[in-house]
Chain A
Amino acid sequence: MTIIAALAIGLIFGTGIAVSGMINPAKVINFFDIAGTWDPSLAFVMAGALAVTMVGYRVVLRRPAPMLDREFHVPTSRQIDLPLILGSAIFGIAWGATGACPGGIIPAIGLGEPAALVFVVSIAIGIGIVRLVQARR
Protein backbone atom coordinates (compact mmCIF):
# COMPACT_ATOMS: atom_id res chain seq x y z
CA MET A 1 0.00 0.00 0.00
CA THR A 2 2.85 2.34 0.92
CA ILE A 3 4.47 1.68 -2.44
CA ILE A 4 1.30 2.00 -4.54
CA ALA A 5 0.43 5.25 -2.80
CA ALA A 6 3.95 6.62 -3.40
CA LEU A 7 3.72 5.65 -7.07
CA ALA A 8 0.37 7.45 -7.42
CA ILE A 9 1.65 10.56 -5.64
CA GLY A 10 4.73 10.50 -7.88
CA LEU A 11 2.41 10.41 -10.91
CA ILE A 12 0.55 13.49 -9.64
CA PHE A 13 3.85 15.28 -8.99
CA GLY A 14 5.27 14.38 -12.41
CA THR A 15 2.06 15.51 -14.12
CA GLY A 16 2.28 18.82 -12.26
CA ILE A 17 5.90 19.30 -13.29
CA ALA A 18 5.09 18.48 -16.94
CA VAL A 19 1.93 20.62 -17.17
CA SER A 20 3.52 23.57 -15.35
CA GLY A 21 6.55 23.81 -17.64
CA MET A 22 9.03 23.25 -14.77
CA ILE A 23 10.17 20.23 -16.78
CA ASN A 24 11.76 22.54 -19.40
CA PRO A 25 15.19 23.97 -18.43
CA ALA A 26 14.85 26.77 -21.01
CA LYS A 27 11.62 27.93 -19.34
CA VAL A 28 13.29 27.92 -15.91
CA ILE A 29 16.22 30.00 -17.20
CA ASN A 30 13.79 32.47 -18.82
CA PHE A 31 12.00 32.85 -15.49
CA PHE A 32 15.21 34.31 -14.10
CA ASP A 33 15.96 36.46 -17.16
CA ILE A 34 13.94 39.50 -16.10
CA ALA A 35 16.16 41.81 -18.16
CA GLY A 36 15.75 39.67 -21.29
CA THR A 37 13.32 37.01 -22.51
CA TRP A 38 11.42 36.95 -19.21
CA ASP A 39 8.78 34.22 -18.78
CA PRO A 40 7.01 34.77 -15.43
CA SER A 41 5.14 31.41 -15.63
CA LEU A 42 7.08 29.80 -12.80
CA ALA A 43 5.79 32.36 -10.32
CA PHE A 44 2.35 30.84 -11.01
CA VAL A 45 3.75 27.35 -10.36
CA MET A 46 5.15 28.46 -7.00
CA ALA A 47 1.96 30.31 -6.08
CA GLY A 48 -0.26 27.32 -6.90
CA ALA A 49 1.98 24.80 -5.15
CA LEU A 50 2.41 26.96 -2.05
CA ALA A 51 -1.28 27.79 -1.70
CA VAL A 52 -2.31 24.12 -1.70
CA THR A 53 0.58 22.97 0.49
CA MET A 54 0.12 25.70 3.10
CA VAL A 55 -3.55 24.91 3.58
CA GLY A 56 -3.07 21.14 3.24
CA TYR A 57 -0.20 20.94 5.75
CA ARG A 58 -2.28 22.87 8.31
CA VAL A 59 -4.96 20.19 8.15
CA VAL A 60 -2.65 17.18 7.84
CA LEU A 61 -0.03 18.06 10.46
CA ARG A 62 -2.74 18.49 13.10
CA ARG A 63 -3.34 14.74 13.01
CA PRO A 64 -1.35 12.52 15.40
CA ALA A 65 0.34 10.51 12.63
CA PRO A 66 0.32 9.96 8.86
CA MET A 67 -1.90 7.17 7.51
CA LEU A 68 0.90 4.84 6.37
CA ASP A 69 3.62 5.51 8.94
CA ARG A 70 3.92 5.81 12.70
CA GLU A 71 5.12 9.41 12.74
CA PHE A 72 5.68 12.52 10.64
CA HIS A 73 9.27 12.90 9.44
CA VAL A 74 9.58 16.65 9.57
CA PRO A 75 12.93 18.45 9.95
CA THR A 76 13.31 19.99 13.40
CA SER A 77 16.50 22.02 12.96
CA ARG A 78 15.91 25.76 13.10
CA GLN A 79 19.54 26.79 12.88
CA ILE A 80 20.53 29.12 10.06
CA ASP A 81 24.08 27.88 9.51
CA LEU A 82 26.84 28.25 6.95
CA PRO A 83 26.17 24.99 5.04
CA LEU A 84 22.54 26.05 4.53
CA ILE A 85 23.45 29.44 3.10
CA LEU A 86 26.54 28.32 1.18
CA GLY A 87 24.79 25.24 -0.23
CA SER A 88 21.72 27.22 -1.27
CA ALA A 89 23.90 29.90 -2.90
CA ILE A 90 25.81 27.21 -4.86
CA PHE A 91 22.56 25.46 -5.81
CA GLY A 92 21.08 28.74 -7.08
CA ILE A 93 24.11 29.48 -9.24
CA ALA A 94 23.95 26.05 -10.86
CA TRP A 95 20.13 26.14 -11.12
CA GLY A 96 20.31 29.49 -12.93
CA ALA A 97 23.09 28.28 -15.23
CA THR A 98 21.40 24.98 -16.14
CA GLY A 99 17.67 25.52 -15.53
CA ALA A 100 17.74 22.07 -13.93
CA CYS A 101 16.53 21.50 -10.37
CA PRO A 102 16.05 17.92 -9.13
CA GLY A 103 12.24 18.19 -9.05
CA GLY A 104 12.00 19.52 -12.57
CA ILE A 105 14.61 17.43 -14.28
CA ILE A 106 13.89 13.95 -12.84
CA PRO A 107 10.44 13.74 -14.53
CA ALA A 108 12.09 14.91 -17.79
CA ILE A 109 13.74 11.48 -18.02
CA GLY A 110 10.25 10.26 -18.95
CA LEU A 111 10.37 12.42 -22.07
CA GLY A 112 13.25 10.27 -23.29
CA GLU A 113 15.58 13.25 -23.28
CA PRO A 114 19.23 12.13 -22.99
CA ALA A 115 20.17 15.50 -21.45
CA ALA A 116 17.71 14.87 -18.59
CA LEU A 117 19.44 11.59 -17.75
CA VAL A 118 22.87 13.26 -17.90
CA PHE A 119 21.67 15.97 -15.51
CA VAL A 120 20.06 13.52 -13.07
CA VAL A 121 23.06 11.18 -12.92
CA SER A 122 25.36 14.17 -12.37
CA ILE A 123 23.07 15.58 -9.67
CA ALA A 124 23.01 12.18 -7.93
CA ILE A 125 26.82 12.02 -8.01
CA GLY A 126 26.97 15.57 -6.57
CA ILE A 127 24.62 14.57 -3.73
CA GLY A 128 26.70 11.42 -3.18
CA ILE A 129 29.93 13.43 -2.92
CA VAL A 130 28.44 15.62 -0.17
CA ARG A 131 27.13 12.56 1.67
CA LEU A 132 30.58 10.90 1.55
CA VAL A 133 32.35 14.01 2.83
CA GLN A 134 29.78 14.53 5.60
CA ALA A 135 29.99 10.86 6.65
CA ARG A 136 33.78 11.12 7.12
CA ARG A 137 33.52 13.99 9.57
Chain B
Amino acid sequence: MTEFTPLASLLGGLLIGLAAVLLMALHGRIMGLTGILSGLLPPPDADWSWRAAFLLGAISAPALIVALGDRTIPFETPLSFGAQVVGGLVVGIGAALGSGCTSGHGVCGLARLSPRSLVATCTFMATALATVFVIRHLLGSA
Protein backbone atom coordinates (compact mmCIF):
# COMPACT_ATOMS: atom_id res chain seq x y z
CA MET B 1 0.00 0.00 0.00
CA THR B 2 1.04 3.56 -0.66
CA GLU B 3 -0.90 6.54 0.57
CA PHE B 4 -3.11 8.47 -1.91
CA THR B 5 -1.55 11.95 -2.11
CA PRO B 6 -3.60 14.04 -4.56
CA LEU B 7 -2.42 17.48 -3.41
CA ALA B 8 1.30 16.69 -3.11
CA SER B 9 1.17 14.84 -6.42
CA LEU B 10 -0.58 17.72 -8.16
CA LEU B 11 1.94 20.18 -6.71
CA GLY B 12 4.83 17.95 -7.79
CA GLY B 13 3.30 17.68 -11.26
CA LEU B 14 3.06 21.47 -11.52
CA LEU B 15 6.78 21.73 -10.66
CA ILE B 16 7.66 19.08 -13.26
CA GLY B 17 5.68 21.08 -15.82
CA LEU B 18 7.40 24.30 -14.77
CA ALA B 19 10.80 22.65 -15.27
CA ALA B 20 9.75 21.41 -18.73
CA VAL B 21 8.63 24.90 -19.77
CA LEU B 22 11.80 26.55 -18.43
CA LEU B 23 14.09 24.05 -20.18
CA MET B 24 12.33 24.86 -23.46
CA ALA B 25 12.27 28.63 -22.85
CA LEU B 26 15.96 28.83 -21.90
CA HIS B 27 17.72 25.90 -23.58
CA GLY B 28 15.22 25.06 -26.31
CA ARG B 29 15.23 21.43 -25.19
CA ILE B 30 12.62 18.75 -24.62
CA MET B 31 12.80 17.61 -20.99
CA GLY B 32 13.05 13.90 -21.74
CA LEU B 33 15.19 12.09 -19.20
CA THR B 34 16.03 9.25 -21.58
CA GLY B 35 17.35 11.72 -24.15
CA ILE B 36 19.19 13.82 -21.58
CA LEU B 37 20.89 10.73 -20.13
CA SER B 38 21.62 9.29 -23.58
CA GLY B 39 23.61 12.41 -24.57
CA LEU B 40 25.94 11.84 -21.61
CA LEU B 41 26.90 8.28 -22.48
CA PRO B 42 30.33 7.83 -24.10
CA PRO B 43 31.08 9.38 -26.50
CA PRO B 44 29.19 12.30 -24.88
CA ASP B 45 27.43 14.85 -27.08
CA ALA B 46 29.18 18.22 -27.54
CA ASP B 47 26.49 19.80 -25.34
CA TRP B 48 27.03 17.42 -22.42
CA SER B 49 27.49 20.18 -19.83
CA TRP B 50 23.86 21.35 -19.52
CA ARG B 51 22.77 17.70 -19.42
CA ALA B 52 25.14 16.91 -16.56
CA ALA B 53 24.09 20.09 -14.72
CA PHE B 54 20.38 19.26 -15.10
CA LEU B 55 20.86 15.71 -13.77
CA LEU B 56 23.03 16.99 -10.91
CA GLY B 57 20.20 19.36 -9.95
CA ALA B 58 17.60 16.60 -10.26
CA ILE B 59 19.62 14.31 -7.97
CA SER B 60 20.47 17.07 -5.48
CA ALA B 61 16.86 18.15 -4.94
CA PRO B 62 15.66 15.11 -2.95
CA ALA B 63 18.91 15.13 -0.95
CA LEU B 64 18.36 18.81 -0.07
CA ILE B 65 14.71 18.23 0.87
CA VAL B 66 15.72 15.44 3.26
CA ALA B 67 18.66 17.41 4.72
CA LEU B 68 17.03 20.84 5.05
CA GLY B 69 13.39 19.89 5.40
CA ASP B 70 14.05 17.28 8.06
CA ARG B 71 11.60 14.88 6.45
CA THR B 72 11.76 11.48 4.83
CA ILE B 73 10.76 10.75 1.26
CA PRO B 74 9.28 7.25 0.83
CA PHE B 75 11.22 4.91 -1.48
CA GLU B 76 10.40 1.21 -1.76
CA THR B 77 11.15 -1.44 -4.33
CA PRO B 78 9.90 -5.03 -4.14
CA LEU B 79 12.65 -6.26 -6.49
CA SER B 80 15.83 -8.21 -5.82
CA PHE B 81 19.22 -6.95 -7.06
CA GLY B 82 19.09 -9.24 -10.10
CA ALA B 83 15.57 -8.11 -11.01
CA GLN B 84 16.64 -4.46 -10.63
CA VAL B 85 19.50 -5.01 -13.11
CA VAL B 86 17.40 -6.88 -15.68
CA GLY B 87 14.43 -4.54 -15.23
CA GLY B 88 16.64 -1.46 -15.58
CA LEU B 89 18.28 -2.82 -18.74
CA VAL B 90 14.89 -3.45 -20.34
CA VAL B 91 13.59 -0.01 -19.26
CA GLY B 92 16.63 1.55 -20.99
CA ILE B 93 16.34 -0.56 -24.14
CA GLY B 94 12.62 0.12 -24.51
CA ALA B 95 12.88 3.84 -23.80
CA ALA B 96 15.79 4.30 -26.23
CA LEU B 97 14.12 2.25 -28.98
CA GLY B 98 10.86 4.14 -28.48
CA SER B 99 12.71 7.50 -28.45
CA GLY B 100 11.44 8.52 -25.03
CA CYS B 101 9.86 7.72 -21.71
CA THR B 102 7.29 9.20 -19.35
CA SER B 103 8.85 12.68 -19.25
CA GLY B 104 9.73 13.04 -22.94
CA HIS B 105 6.65 11.47 -24.53
CA GLY B 106 4.19 11.54 -21.62
CA VAL B 107 4.67 15.18 -20.61
CA CYS B 108 6.58 17.14 -23.27
CA GLY B 109 5.35 15.22 -26.32
CA LEU B 110 1.70 15.22 -25.28
CA ALA B 111 1.95 18.92 -24.47
CA ARG B 112 3.12 19.51 -28.07
CA LEU B 113 0.26 17.32 -29.34
CA SER B 114 2.83 15.08 -31.06
CA PRO B 115 1.10 12.07 -32.65
CA ARG B 116 4.20 9.92 -32.02
CA SER B 117 4.14 10.76 -28.32
CA LEU B 118 0.41 10.06 -28.08
CA VAL B 119 0.93 6.59 -29.59
CA ALA B 120 3.99 5.97 -27.37
CA THR B 121 2.24 7.09 -24.17
CA CYS B 122 -0.90 5.03 -24.82
CA THR B 123 1.29 2.02 -25.65
CA PHE B 124 3.50 2.13 -22.54
CA MET B 125 0.58 2.93 -20.23
CA ALA B 126 -1.31 -0.08 -21.62
CA THR B 127 1.60 -2.53 -21.37
CA ALA B 128 2.48 -1.28 -17.86
CA LEU B 129 -1.13 -1.83 -16.71
CA ALA B 130 -1.17 -5.31 -18.26
CA THR B 131 2.20 -6.20 -16.75
CA VAL B 132 1.22 -5.21 -13.21
CA PHE B 133 -2.06 -7.11 -13.57
CA VAL B 134 -0.24 -10.25 -14.73
CA ILE B 135 2.46 -10.04 -12.03
CA ARG B 136 0.14 -9.21 -9.12
CA HIS B 137 -3.07 -11.02 -9.96
CA LEU B 138 -2.25 -13.88 -12.34
CA LEU B 139 1.18 -14.86 -11.05
CA GLY B 140 0.17 -13.70 -7.59
CA SER B 141 3.48 -12.30 -6.36
CA ALA B 142 3.92 -8.98 -4.57
Residues of A within 8 A of B (CB): 2-27, 29-30, 32-37, 39-42, 44-54, 56-57, 60-61, 63, 65-69, 71-75, 77-80, 83-104, 106-113, 115-116, 118-131
Q: Which of A9, A17, A78, A92 contacts B123 (CB 8 A)?
A: A92
Q: Which of A11, A90, A92, A111 has the most CB of B within 10 A?
A: A92
Q: Which of B17, B34, B81, B133 contacts A52 (CB 8 A)?
A: B17
Contact A15 B93 (CB under 8 A): no
Q: Which of A41, A101, A106, A128 contacts B58 (CB 8 A)?
A: A106
- Cα–Cα, bound, A48→B49 (Å): 29
Pairs A-B, 4 closest by C-beta atoms: A126-B92, A20-B12, A10-B57, A48-B13
- The majority secondary structure among interface residues of chain A is helix
Residues of B within 8 A of A (CB): 1-31, 33-34, 37-38, 41, 49-51, 53-66, 73-79, 81, 83-99, 101-103, 105-112, 114-116, 119-121, 123-133, 135-137
Q: Which of B60, B99, B101, B114 contacts A83 (CB 8 A)?
A: B99
Number of A-B contacts defined by CB within 8 Å:
494
Contact A123 B37 (CB under 8 A): yes
- Cα–Cα, bound, A12→B102 (Å): 17
Task: Report 10 cross-chain contacts, Cβ distance below 8 Å, ordered by A residue.
Answer: A3-B49, A20-B11, A21-B8, A39-B2, A41-B6, A52-B16, A56-B17, A85-B123, A127-B37, A129-B93
Cβ contacts under 8 Å, A10 to chain B: 19, 53-61
Contact A71 B124 (CB under 8 A): no
Contact B25 A102 (CB under 8 A): no
Contact B74 A21 (CB under 8 A): yes
- Cα–Cα, bound, A65→B28 (Å): 7
